[in-house]
Amino acid sequence: MSLTRSRHICHRTRAAAVGAACALVAIVGATGSSAAPLSPSAGTSAVTVESVEVHIKDFKFVPAEVKVPAGAKVTVVNDDSAPHTLTATEGQAFDTGTIESGKSGSFTAPSKPGSYAFICSIHPQMKGTLVVS
């Protein structure tokens, strides 16, 4: 028996083909262990304080408001089908440059606390805010 492992794969695999098996395993798992945590980040390693991840999906930054400590490393993952950037709107405070589909880029958060608006320079309607504390 390997319920934990199966549930794990289920959580990470969203393919329609495994949907039925996924639901079945989920039910078994729920009745089998009442203490199973439903962490949304299960399967990904814990993010340290100094490192933050932003995703880009459906022409949106997720989250749109990114809170980071000063000088933190921010990794930007492009889950979209189009290339994107994460670029400060003022002062050239930070810029990932072009991140191709499926790739990731990174930048270092400013050392000065404050709110920094950013956009995608390719699609300026994409907006977000970096809050440095």
Point out which residues bind Cu ion (CB under 5 A). Answer: 84, 120, 122-123
Contacts of 116 (CB under 8 A, 6+ apart): 88, 89, 90, 93, 94, 110, 129, 130, 131, 132
Whichever of 18 and 122 has its CB closer to Cu ion, that residue is 122
Q: Which residue is nearest to Cu ion (CB)?
A: 120
Minimum distance of Cu ion from residue 52's CB (angstroms): 19
Distance CA 84, CA 3 (A): 39
Which residue in 76, 111, 75 sits closest to 91, CA to CA?
Answer: 111
**Considering the complex, what minimum distance in angstroms separates the CB of residue 68 from Cu ion?**
21
Residue 130 beta carbon to Cu ion: minimum distance, rounded to whole angstroms: 16
CB 81 within 8 A of CB 75: no
Of 93 and 120, nearer to Cu ion (C-beta) is 120
Give the residue with the Cβ less far from Cu ion, 22 or 126: 126
